[in-house]
Structure 1
């Protein structure tokens, strides 16, 4: 599991780079301490605006260090081969710069859901010891700044429905299919 590092009070510098992948465009941003954001979309300019909005107190450049570039390439590899996420991400640092205490707790809980597994929002709330906070936990999933790295795509509705996904349900389906979840869901439906 990727470990989030503590929030710092100093103004941070983000280095970012955009990549094309099977999911469209991805904008990866990192501090010198770790990955801070992984944003998915179809338009790099829109992703850059989203990054600037989310991290308005940070300066942003497009000149990642060699270490940051290596982390970014690992993120792209995970996006291309999500089934390998646990192996690739085992040692990559995550530097979450945003989030309330609850959001950060939810994001940490999401990282415990293994590749090929899913949880419902209700199961996630129960596992966190906050069974009455299902809506707040779902909102925290939607505020996740690190697509795939913090795997909110692995959370479904209690009735087996898709629920939401900030970066689009088509991307959520593709990720779950790559992780082998779709095949299991089809088997479960056929068995009913």
Structure 2
């Protein structure tokens, strides 16, 4: 998550990437991690050369879904959905249940069907622990859907080759296996992934 002095840079990165999906993992705990979006529906904040408007907010059981309109100066705003998992306790390397991650992935997948951009910005407090597990979880579920088989070891190995700080302990590694089983349990039969 951005620091107070990098909020403008963060929004410029989001605008430049064309992302329409933002996953925020964990609560904003103190002044080192400020609220970096408008808090009142209909209000607009300027972050350097990027305008951000809060168009709506929906409080779900495990997460808050915010609809934001993002535009660089002189451009047409685009809709960005923020999926904010404020129930993920940051002192733990894994969330309280696989269901939380599966729910977020389901919401993100549904939203992505309606967007022009397939870029997803994932952020957490330290930039790696929760984000890394979320990205690994997304890959695990996607592999099961597309290939109907999975090699968690190779998946984690591939992720860590480019991001060594992702999947930081054996709890996160085991969580990937638990998540795969929980994901498979959401289907009536293993061969019916559609």
* TM-score in terms of structure 2 length: 0.35
* TM-score in terms of structure 1 length: 0.36
Which is strand-richer, 1 or 2? Answer: 2
Greater Rg over alpha carbons, structure: 2
